[in-house]
Every structure is written in structure tokens, then in C-alpha cells.
Amino acid sequence: MPDKKYWGINVPGIITALVAAVLLSLTQPDWTEHFVAAGSVAAVTAILLIL
């Protein structure tokens, strides 16, 4: 699947990161764990998008 970029933003990558964060948060019963998991996924994805 080719990456589509709009204004320099990797849209499929961001969507994939959001989906991954949601799936990860669903597996964590505690709200604190949700944010930690979502934050780590978002951070890693942001780094990958920049590189």
C-alpha cells in the first residue's frame, strides 16, 4: 500500500497509529495504562514519520 502524503503529512501512518493505540488501550483495563500505551505508540510513530 503506497503512502499518500498530504501537505507533508503521512495520513495512512497516522491512521495506523491511531488504530494501534486504540487496540492497545482496549487490552489495558486501567486508564493510566491507556494513556501510556497510546502515548508510546504515538511517539514511536511520530519518530518514524519524521525519519
pLDDT of residue 18: 78
At residue 3, the pLDDT reads: 53
Compute CA 15 distance to the chain's CA centroid, rounded to the nearest angstrom: 7
The angle subtended at Cα 50 by Cα 7 and Cα 42, nearest 5°, is 100
- The predicted model scores a pTM of 0.40
Tracing cell 502524503 back to the chain, one arrives at: 5
**What pLDDT sits at residue 9?**
63
Q: Which three cell numbers stand for residue 4?
A: 499518500
pLDDT digits (tens, 9 = 90+) for 1-51: 455 555 566 677 777 877 877 777 777 667 677 677 777 877 888 777 766
Task: In whole angstroms, give the CA distance from residue 40 to residue 44.
Answer: 6
Would you kindly state where each structural domain of the chain is located, as residue ranges? Answer: 5-50
Residue 34: all three cell numbers together: 491507556
- First vs last Cα of the chain: how many Å apart? 19
